[in-house]
Amino acid sequence: MLSTIAAAALPILVVTLALGGVAKLATVGRETSPGALARLGPAVLMPERFARSAMIACSLVEFVLATGLLVVDHPVARWLPGVFFALATYVLWDLRRRRPDAGCGCFGDVSDAPVGLRSIGRAAALTVMAALVGADGVTGLPHVTVETAPWIGGGLALLLACSPEIDGVVSRLRRRVPCEQRPMPPGRALSRLRSSAEWRAHAGSLLADEPSDMWRELCWRFFVFPARGDAEVVFAVDLGGRRPAVRAVVVGADGRIAASDDHSDAPLRESTPVSA
């Protein structure tokens, strides 16, 4: 049974190490507020100027450990993850005592909640899993079997239960900003427009590649393009959802709508639009 548990623990360790490394590098690469990195993980215990380097170094170590579990058939490669997670457990415990306001930084800035018993318990659980892998000698590309599948599911459920990051994700989803208040750069909305069927249908009649005017109303971004026949094509791009709707109308020189799609529900401005 221990061999089965160890075989199930291997993919969990590899995925956890890889995700942790990717999340840390993504956090370093993003623009953050001054001193933000210094409030995550063990970097809080060192000078702020070393926080970025510490985050990068930790992510590289995680990548090396994950790669070692997959391709290196040697006891050192199998036991090093156990040492890493055991050290992480101690550091988190010490961090909770010395800096109770700091986040663990286990998955970058996603792990910005103060270190608690759940984070420490997750590190301890990963330590036990890594110890089983090292003791059993399992290595190489993991294979999910009928025997290991329940143990993998149980291990993942345990880690999720010990992950305070889940609470943060659920909280963000519940407090999701309405689309009318959600920021959306005009350039991104313009990219959505140019990939739509409405754009392709009217592109041949447009006299310019860039809009002559643009504005936003609630969940819609409007773009005006000069067109042949002394007319203008007004596009409306929905700013909500992964597959936003795009509407288009052709406005003649007299201000009347010459053509439009049959199901347009986007609001049209009758007053002079204000560029935004």
Instruction: Give the 3-state secondary structure of 141-210.
Output: CCCCCCCHHHHHHHHHHHHHHCCCHHHHHHHHHHCCCCHHHCCCCHHHHHHHHHCCHHHHHHHHHECCCC
Asked if 17 and 126 touch (Cβ cutoff 8 Å), the reply is no
Q: Residue 224 pLDDT more than 90?
A: yes
**Higher-pLDDT residue of 43, 71:** 71
Reported as half-sphere exposure (CB side, CA atoms, 13 A), residue 174 has a value of 6
pTM for this entry: 0.60
Q: Residue 259 pLDDT more than 70?
A: no
Mean pLDDT is lowest, of 66-70, 164-168, 169-173, 271-275, for 271-275
Residue-wise pLDDT tens digits, 88-135: 999 899 888 887 777 888 888 788 778 889 999 999 999 999 999 999
Q: Which of 156, 151, 121, 157 is nearest to 136 (CA)?
A: 151
Question: For residue 219, what pLDDT is reported?
Answer: 85
* φ and ψ of 26, to 5 deg: -65, -40
Residue-wise pLDDT tens digits, 18-47: 999 998 888 887 755 555 666 677 667 777
- Separation of alpha carbons 217 and 75, rounded Å: 62
65 in helix, strand or coil?
Answer: helix
Query: What is the pairing mode between strands 246-251 and 231-238?
Result: antiparallel
- Separation of alpha carbons 205 and 167, rounded Å: 51
pLDDT band at 198 (very low <50, low <70, confident <90, very high): confident
* φ and ψ of 111, to 5 deg: -95, 55
Count of Cβ atoms closer than 10 Å to residue 8 Cβ: 26
Q: Provide the angle, in degrees to the nearest 10, between the axes of the packed helices 2-29 and 148-161.
A: 40
User: Which residues share a beta bridge with 170?
Assistant: none
